[in-house]
Each structure stands twice: as C-alpha cells, then as structure tokens.
C-alpha cells in the first residue's frame, strides 16, 4: 500500500478535507463502542489519512523552501 495516497478518491482532497475526515475518524474511535474489526479499520484509515496529510504538508514546506531560496518573482511551477 502506498502511504502517500491512502485511497484513489483521496488524491484530490485538500488538506482541510483530509484533516476533517481524520478528526471525524478520531471522534468515532473515542466516542463509540465499535466492534473490534470496525475499530481496527477506523484506526487504519486514520493512519492513512495522517500520512497523507503529512505528505501534503511536506510538499508545501518544500515549495516554501524553494521560493525562499530562489528569491525570484517568477510563479512557482513545482519543478526544480
């Protein structure tokens, strides 16, 4: 399983959407008497979402570093 893309439907999700789903998953785990199988599935989904959100943050950080290092006024294209 690729940890950068937890599900194919997540590929286009914004950071805020991923974070919202992660928060919902955490609340579900904290407030429910879920069966073990459902708890494990929710936990696994939470880990996937967490990794995907971290990947989004890492990419944003790299963009900022490139922009600060470059100092140019050209629009950022994502290519080095």
Cα–Cα distance measured from residue 45 to residue 12, given in angstroms and rounded to the nearest whole number: 17
Q: Which residues, 6+ apart, have CB-to-CB distance to 49 below 8 Å?
A: 6, 10, 18, 21, 22, 25
Mean pLDDT (the chain, rounded)? 84
Mean pLDDT across the stretch 10-38?
Answer: 91
Q: Is residue 5 scored above 60 in pLDDT?
A: no
Evaluate if residue 55 carries a pLDDT over 90. Answer: yes
Q: What 3-state DSSP class applies to 78?
A: coil
The reported pTM is 0.71
pLDDT surpasses 60 at 65:
yes
Residue closest to 62 by CA, chosen among 51, 73, 72, 70:
70
């Amino acid at each position: 399983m690729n940890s950068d893309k937890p599900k194919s439907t997540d590929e286009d999700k914004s950071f805020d959407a991923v974070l919202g789903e992660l928060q919902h998953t955490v609340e579900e785990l904290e407030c429910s008497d879920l069966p073990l199988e459902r708890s494990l599935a929710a936990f696994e989904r939470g880990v996937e979402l967490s990794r995907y959100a971290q990947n989004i943050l890492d990419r944003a950080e790299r963009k900022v570093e490139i922009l600060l290092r470059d100092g140019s006024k050209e629009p950022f294209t994502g290519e080095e």
